[in-house]
């Protein structure tokens, strides 16, 4: 199994759609349907992004998600940590202290400092995290923009706009249906 | 769960005991008991190290494992790849091609080249692997040696020597018990 799972992948793809404010404030269901991924899966990811201060949720019919800070200030590492919860590369079990020669009482020298093996792993982890911290959501958006045809952003805005339009219409229709007619009996 | 599991940790700890040729050629059971870890778990790791050309097995009563090449020529990355089998940091699912706007037929531009998110992950993975490749088993052994008291290596050699001695004795006793006595009946 890969270290960074599909939650990270889906989170980053979703956030990319939020970079352009012209896309409005999509719901996690809008984003799931746009990308062909499971809505219930995305519904579990967004509260984590919100808790980490990466997105902000707004209530109401026109509400949904927007970035809580500029895309330049959201690193890939921020998103990884928000979604995966600071998963270590290596989980040292302190094998060194269990040596049979110590008879269950490891001398101080044997467990002093960080285990040499763990130290190498921590350096590798720092390198990996450093690289993830170097790329921002704005950088990712720029690489996507570079290959997107000029007409595509308008199609995306249209797609989100149509979704919102249908939601507004459905709500209006439901409100109309629920309104009591003149001759209907009233309670109380 | 951590990316690099306890198989990697146990493999590296075992290999460290093989750096000093004065420890002989311990079996994986010797190494398991010395370190207080499961013998059946180690028995699954050693064939992988052997297949990767990191250790060599010798047969016979005095046989066991030895390093197949100098510890300077065995990197931490070699051991990680031997044991974990080149596990990726990130497993790109190509979410970008699934966009609902494409209606199941993603245009060439949308899936051209490596996905920008995947590219960041690949850079992070290269950084991590580069760091693991930089440290050798000899480097790890040097950090352990630096904190080990001068008398300790002799105690380790004694421990392995005692194990071997018991094995030789048990074998001799078994051979003696199995040898037919002068007056015993013979088959055939």
Among A92-106, B15-29, B172-186, whose mean pLDDT is lowest? B172-186
* Nearest-angstrom CA–CA distance, A25 and A50: 14
Residue A184, pLDDT > 90, answer no
Q: How far lies B150's CA from each of A2, A14, B13, B144, in Å?
A: 42, 58, 20, 12
User: Six-digit token pair at A21?
Assistant: 């404010």
Residue A120: the pLDDT is: 96
* Nearest-angstrom CA–CA distance, B71 and B19: 6
Residue A154: the pLDDT is: 94
Residue B10, pLDDT > 50, answer yes
User: Percentage of residues in chain B with pLDDT exceeding 70?
Assistant: 94
**Do B95 and A127 lie within an 8 Å CB cutoff?**
no
Please say whether the beta carbons of A87 and B1 come within 8 A.
Answer: yes
Q: What is the mean pLDDT of chain B?
A: 90
Residue in A2, A96, A147 nearest the CB of B109: A147
Averaged pLDDT for residues A155-168: 92
Q: Where are chain A's structural domains? A: 6-88+137-174
Residue B146, pLDDT > 80, answer yes
Task: Classify domain B6-88+137-174 by CATH architecture.
Answer: Orthogonal Bundle (1.10)
Question: pTM for the whole thing?
Answer: 0.88
- Closest among B171, B149, B156, B143 to B26, alpha carbons compared: B156
Residue in B91, B98, B135 nearest the CB of A35: B98
Residue A177: the pLDDT is: 82
Residues 129-168 of B with CB under 8 A from A: 129-132, 135, 140, 143-144, 147-149, 155-156, 159
DSSP codes joined into one string, B66-134:
EESS-GGG-BHHHHHHHHH-S--SB----GGGG-GGGTT---GGGG-SS-HHHHHHHHHHHHHHHHHHH
**Within an 8 Å CB–CB cutoff, is residue B74 touching chain A?**
no
Q: How far lies A169's CA from each of A57, A65, A127, A175, B100, in Å?
A: 22, 20, 51, 10, 22
Averaged pLDDT for residues B101-130: 94
**Within an 8 Å CB–CB cutoff, is residue A3 touching chain B?**
yes
Q: What is the mean pLDDT of chain A?
A: 90
Residue B176: the pLDDT is: 86
Averaged pLDDT for residues B92-118: 91
pLDDT tens digits, one per residue of B52-89: 999 999 988 888 999 999 999 999 999 999 999 988 99
Chain B positions in Cβ-Cβ contact with residue A127 (cut-off 8 Å): 124, 127-128, 130-131
pLDDT tens digits, one per residue of A97-156: 889 999 889 999 999 999 999 999 999 999 999 999 999 999 999 999 999 999 999 999
- Mutation site, B121, B129, B135, interface A, largest A CB count within 10 A: B121
Q: Give the phi and the psi of residue A80 in degrees, each rounded to 5.
A: -60, -50
């Amino acid at each position: 199994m890969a270290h960074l799972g599909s939650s990270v992948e889906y989170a980053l793809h979703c956030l990319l759609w939020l970079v352009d404010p012209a896309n409005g404030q999509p719901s996690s269901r809008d984003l799931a349907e746009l990308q062909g991924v499971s809505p219930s899966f995305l519904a579990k990811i967004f509260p984590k992004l919100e808790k980490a201060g990466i997105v902000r949720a707004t209530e109401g019919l026109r509400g949904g998600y927007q970035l809580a800070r500029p895309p330049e200030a959201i690193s890939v590492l921020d998103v990884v940590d928000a979604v995966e919860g600071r998963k270590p590369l290596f989980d040292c079990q302190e094998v060194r202290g269990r040596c049979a020669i110590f008879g269950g009482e490891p001398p101080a020298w044997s467990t002093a400092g960080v285990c040499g093996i763990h130290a190498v792993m921590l350096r590798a982890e720092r390198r990996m995290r450093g690289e993830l911290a170097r790329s921002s959501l704005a950088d990712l958006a720029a690489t996507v923009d570079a290959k997107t045809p000029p007409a595509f952003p308008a199609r995306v805005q249209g797609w989100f706009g149509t979704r919102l339009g249908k939601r507004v219409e459905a709500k209006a229709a439901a409100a109309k249906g629920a309104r009591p007619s003149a001759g209907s009996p009233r309670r109380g």
